[in-house]
Structure 1
């Protein structure tokens, strides 16, 4: 079992592993704006309009495709917007027009978009939408954060000499592992009822290593659930010959969930943090 000191190990956990691209994916932002650039330029003619309702309706008659960029003006990514008021319930489609142009005109007025354009509160819809997209993209940081640790671990796997799709594999399900190496993993799949996916799998001559990675910059109930589930996996895999479970985790979020993490640390020999990676643990684990 693990002979390392848990508290000393935990003290080396990091505040963040954010890289430069973590904060905003500008490549994605610019691509999204570019996809509707022509339509936005057409709608730019409404800025400062003295007769905005008539001008808008004339534009939609001539260029109905401009409707597709209306939702993003409200920071909405879907093609449909549902609203309810004293007049009733409406579900506007901005992909396949399902109301009269005058109804869409009413939508623009009631949401405040006419006022935004008419009163010249903005100078350019492309700049405006770029700002909206930037704000919406910041909501994607959580998803990007989940991949940062995965990407970091993968760089160390590669530095240790493993080659993708040759002796290390990314995102493999239990059934794929069973089929590829003819190993029975029913003990960790609830007799085939659970289809778990591991972040990485490394195959050496002697062993199969199934790997999970995560980083938690903040605390929450998910951390305790993760620690408990990985403790269960540890015990289930221990009963199967030829396979080893390895967990790379880090992040100060664990400081408030240390009790559950320590329970897993006590039973899982192969649990490591970023400091372990930097000190060459990869070359010691996989034999």
Structure 2
């Protein structure tokens, strides 16, 4: 369980390094309902018309875009990787129907070596899927500028 927080701390450190300020430019653990209420955007395509309450690890808000972000890093293989890849593929398709919202996924780890096909399938669909190396090379600034 602690690994979840380490990966979120890592991503947050890169977000902060991009000169974004917490609770002004980016937010942590925001639900679909909180995003909708904060910026008057309809996310019902993601929430199954309000029936599910998805929580995103991070949300970055710029003048003209909302970036909803998930982070997952896998040290070992298992069914969770395949389930996550399928789930994020679905979210990608749903978000594509919402103007002004972009889904971003930061993922990495040895676990993906055995689940390469599922990751590749999601990679083909999801424009914004990045690794730790991408974070180290300033991808956050490139995405939001």
- What's the TM-score once normalised by structure 2's chain length? 0.99
Give me the whole-angstrom Cα distance separating, in 1, the residues matched to 2:5 and 2:72. Answer: 8
1:174 equivalent in alignment to 2:32: yes
Give me the whole-angstrom Cα distance separating, in 2, the residues matched to 1:186 and 1:237. Answer: 10
Correspondence for 1:244: 102
Correspondence for 1:184: 42
Provide the secondary structure at the position in 2 that maps to 1:151: helix
Higher relative contact order (CA 8 A, sep 6+): 2
Provide the secondary structure at the position in 2 that maps to 1:246: strand
Provide the secondary structure at the position in 1 that maps to 2:114: helix
Give me the whole-angstrom Cα distance separating, in 1, the residues matched to 2:8 and 2:57. Answer: 7
Correspondence for 1:161: 19
Correspondence for 1:278: 136
Cα distance, 1:282 vs structure 2: 1.1
Give me the whole-angstrom Cα distance separating, in 2, the residues matched to 1:183 and 1:162. Answer: 22
- What's the TM-score once normalised by structure 1's chain length? 0.50
Provide the secondary structure at the position in 2 that maps to 1:214: strand
Unaligned runs of 5+ in 2: none
Unaligned runs of 5+ in 1: 1-142
Give me the whole-angstrom Cα distance separating, in 1, the residues matched to 2:89 and 2:124. Answer: 9
After superposition, give the CA deviation of every residue in 1:67-90 in whole Å (9 maximum; x if it has no partner).
xxxxxxxxxxxxxxxxxxxxxxxx
The alignment covers a number of residue pairs equal to 145
Correspondence for 1:87: none
* Correspondences of 1:82-231 after superposition (within 5 Å): 143-231=1-89
Cα distance, 1:146 vs structure 2: 1.1
